[in-house]
């Protein structure tokens, strides 16, 4: 009985990781940290956030309680989650806040939507910059020039 349960679980995991919705095969080119920092400043992320370990003078605050980015305390644990939280913020909301601090009445994230204004290159650089402030699980980048015997 125990074994069949275990088998079912492993099967479930394997099935999930290969389904059409799985992040398998997901790969982005390497981003540029310096350009990413410029994007971070240019798009006013700090008007709603504080980035742990990053000192900046913030002139305008849009949220009473800034949402903390970086470090290990946040819910973001992988590169894919970090990227998702920028392009699809309502997918999974930050934890450790009261509802009204992070979402509107419809349950949507208060985070600004950048999808129509940020270029893909900016996004890649931004996430590379942010990533350096997180302790994320390693993201296995595809190495196109390698082959496996
Ligand atoms: C108008 C306010 C606002 C702005 C501007 C804003 N955000 Fe957010 N952001 C939020 C709120 C509120 C949350 C928490 C709800 C959620 O998880 O979407 C959040 C969540 C996040 C998270 C996930 C945090 C976690 O622990 O789950 C990341 C990463 C993030 N924002 C990055 C950015 C970046 C990068 C920018 C600038 C390009 C930005 N945000 C601009 C309001 C904002």
Lining residues, ligand 1, CB within 6 Å: 43-45, 47-49, 62-63, 67, 69, 74-76, 82, 85-86, 89, 93-94, 102, 109-112, 114, 126, 130
Whether residue 37 contacts residue 70, with contact meaning beta carbons closer than 8 Å, is answered with no
- Spell out the domain ranges in the chain: 30-131
Burial 114-126 (b: 16+ CB within 10 A, else e): beeebeeebbbbb
Residue 49: what pLDDT? Answer: 96
pLDDT digits (tens, 9 = 90+) for 121-148: 999 999 999 999 988 766 566 666 655 5
Contacts 24+ apart (CB under 8 A), 60-69: 63/101, 63/110, 64/101, 65/97, 65/101, 67/94, 67/97, 67/101, 67/102, 69/45, 69/130, 69/133, 69/134
Residue 143: what pLDDT? Answer: 63
Q: What global pTM score does this model have?
A: 0.82
Q: Within 10 Å of residue 31's Cβ, how many Cβ atoms?
A: 21
pLDDT band at 8 (very low <50, low <70, confident <90, very high): low
Q: Output 23 or 88, whichever has higher pLDDT.
A: 88
**In this model, does residue 93 exceed pLDDT 70?**
yes
How large a percentage of the chain has pLDDT more than 70?
A: 78
**In this model, does residue 102 exceed pLDDT 70?**
yes
From the alpha carbon of 39, which atom of ligand 1 is closest?
A: 38
CATH topology of domain 30-131: Cytochrome Bc1 Complex; Chain D, domain 2 (1.10.760)
DSSP codes, 54-89: --------SSSSPEEESBSSSS--BHHHHHHHHHSG
**In this model, does residue 80 exceed pLDDT 70?**
yes
pLDDT band at 75 (very low <50, low <70, confident <90, very high): confident
**In this model, does residue 101 exceed pLDDT 60?**
yes
């Amino acid at each position: 009985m125990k074994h069949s349960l275990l088998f079912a679980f492993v099967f479930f995991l394997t099935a999930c990781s290969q389904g059409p919705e799985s992040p398998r095969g997901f790969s982005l080119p390497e981003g540029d940290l310096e350009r990413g920092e410029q994007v971070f400043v240019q798009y006013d992320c700090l008007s709603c956030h504080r980035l742990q370990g990053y000192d900046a003078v913030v002139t305008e605050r849009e949220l009473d309680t800034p949402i903390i980015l970086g470090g290990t305390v946040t819910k973001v644990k992988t590169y894919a989650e970090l990227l998702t939280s920028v392009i699809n913020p309502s997918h999974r909301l930050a934890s450790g806040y009261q509802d009204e601090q992070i979402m509107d009445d419809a349950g949507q994230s208060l985070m600004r939507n950048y999808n129509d204004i940020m270029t893909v290159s900016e996004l890649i650089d931004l996430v590379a910059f942010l990533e350096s402030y997180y302790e994320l699980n390693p993201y296995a980048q595809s190495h196109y020039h390698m082959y496996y015997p």
